[in-house]
Amino acid sequence: MATDNPAEMNTTMDPSKDILPPNIVMADSFSPFKPSPQRGLMKYVRAGFGIIKLALIRRALNDDLVYERYIRENLARLFVANTTICNARCVFCPQQFHVDKKQAMPFDIFADAIENFVAHGGRLVTLNSNNGDPLADPGLIDKIRHARKVGLPVLNFSTNGILLSRGTLVQDIAALVDEIDISLPGFDREDYKRVYGVDRAEAVLDGLIKLIEAKRAANSPLRILLALRIDRPLEEVMADEGMRQLKPYLDDGTVVIDPDQIYSEMETWSDQITAESLPGIMTLRTDVPVRTRPCKRMMNDVFLLADGQVRICACRIKLSNYDELVIGDTRTQPLADIVHGPAHRALLQRVAAGDWPEVCQDCTLYQAQDLPRQTWLAMAWDLLGGLFRR
């Protein structure tokens, strides 16, 4: 029966309404950049605390006892570039400009680093190459099996999902992996080619459904997350036929769209990506945050490169990972000795003094290192106690 009610008419005309998960709110644009608002008096309060925290960090980096007490600690999470090979050509990724050798990490380099990481209390490994796709590594499952064998508690990774249908990969992932994030722009074929640069939308959907079936068959706790990188309005993406095929799995939580992983605003990758290269509603964030103290990624995001070298920051690169952020090599030194060791500490001292590496200077993803409140208070108390003892 026809209706004159505009609300009912809009619901009928919009096929995405009935499959949009309740945790997703429609918006004109979606951004990973969510700075804390700083208005009025709070702006100056935050700035004041920032100055105090920088002073405490500088003291900790320059005092052996304070450094050992508050900064140097066992690494809880390790990022691993198990490969530098990628089979997509995403318009928002500078992989096309990278000059690093295309390779898969040798098994022995992976095994040695993971064994050392676990032996020193490491809990989480993220396979997250910033210029490759984990599934492009033919030795991926052997590496994951070894990590589990030596006692690694948690393992996850992000992928474009293009190779999910290969062999028994989905069964192995369901059995061995805790979380997989699949990056995609939706399932419209022409849109996939436009944004991800290859004609593989159907392959991704087929592999994803096979992964869902493997998860259900094994009663696996594997979390399957969709990370949307969209150049179309979200309601249009959700109306794709592939999304409609996923509706039962979205409804029962077998697959989840992460609201914090829906992006239409992209990062410049230190001026490697331009606004002109982005299609549709995609926009470019160009404002660079003010750097007040060492970035949290330089403190905590330790990145094992494909050849065994270690870099701080697994997030952003400019042409190559082999830059000023490399702090050691696991082929000549145990991972635990590299993390927060002399080279790592020297680099942190450098940035705390305001001397930032080139790759950091135009990065729009800077986030100031923060510590638990009780740690800041303890560091401040130590500082005051030292002043009174003089």
Q: What is the pLDDT of residue 72?
A: 84
* pLDDT above 60: residue 3: no
Q: What value, to the nearest 5°, has the Cα angle with vertex 272 and ends 325 and 369?
A: 40
Indicate the SS3 state at residue 165.
coil
pLDDT, greater one: 5 or 142: 142
**Across residues 231-258, what is the average pLDDT?**
94
Give 185-204 as a 3 state SS string.
Answer: CCCCHHHHHHHHCCCCHHHH
**Across residues 346-366, what is the average pLDDT?**
91
Range with the lowest mean pLDDT among 107-116, 219-228, 372-381?
372-381
Locate 363 and state its tokens.
Answer: 């990065």
CB atoms within 10 A of CB 249: 18
Q: Is 332 exposed, middle or buried (0-12, 13-18, 19+ CB in 10 A)?
A: exposed
**Across residues 197-219, what is the average pLDDT?**
98
Indicate the SS3 state at residue 308.
coil
* C-alpha–C-alpha distance, residues 221 and 357, integer Å: 41
Cβ pair 301, 327 in contact under 8 A: no
* pLDDT above 80: residue 13: no
* pLDDT above 80: residue 10: no
Indicate the SS3 state at residue 140.
helix
Q: What is the pLDDT of residue 5?
A: 47
* pLDDT above 80: residue 6: no
CB atoms within 10 A of CB 79: 24
Range with the lowest mean pLDDT among 102-111, 121-130, 376-385?
376-385
Q: What is the pTM of this model?
A: 0.88
Residue 265 pairs with which residues in a beta bridge? 283
Residue 285 pairs with which residues in a beta bridge? 267
* pLDDT above 80: residue 11: no
> Between β-strands 179-184 and 154-159, what pairing exists: parallel, antiparallel or unpaired?
parallel
- Helices (DSSP H) in 63-184: which residue ranges? 64-66, 107-119, 140-149, 169-176
How is residue 223 annotated by DSSP? E
Q: How many Cα atoms are found within 13 Å in the side-chain-facing hemisphere of 166?
A: 12
**Band of pLDDT at residue 96, cut at 50, 70 and 90:** confident
Q: What is the DSSP secondary-structure string of 364-389?
A: S---B----HHHHHHHHHHHHHHHHH
pLDDT, greater one: 137 or 36: 137
Range with the lowest mean pLDDT among 2-16, 54-68, 199-213?
2-16
Q: How far apart are the first and last CA of the chain?
A: 87
Indicate the SS3 state at residue 60.
helix
**Band of pLDDT at residue 1, cut at 50, 70 and 90:** very low
pLDDT, greater one: 302 or 42: 302
* C-alpha–C-alpha distance, residues 227 and 93, integer Å: 15
Please enumerate in sequence order all residues whose Cβ is within 8 A of that of 172, keeping only pairs 6 or more positions apart, or say none. 141, 144
Q: What is the pLDDT of residue 214?
A: 98
Q: What is the pLDDT of residue 41?
A: 72
* C-alpha–C-alpha distance, residues 217 and 348, integer Å: 48
Cβ pair 231, 278 in contact under 8 A: yes
**Across residues 240-256, what is the average pLDDT?**
95
Q: What is the pLDDT of residue 315?
A: 83
Range with the lowest mean pLDDT among 40-49, 101-110, 132-141, 212-221?
40-49
**Band of pLDDT at residue 2, cut at 50, 70 and 90:** very low
* pLDDT above 90: residue 310: yes
How is residue 339 annotated by DSSP? T
Residue 79 pairs with which residues in a beta bridge? 126, 303
Mean pLDDT, the chain, as a whole number?
89
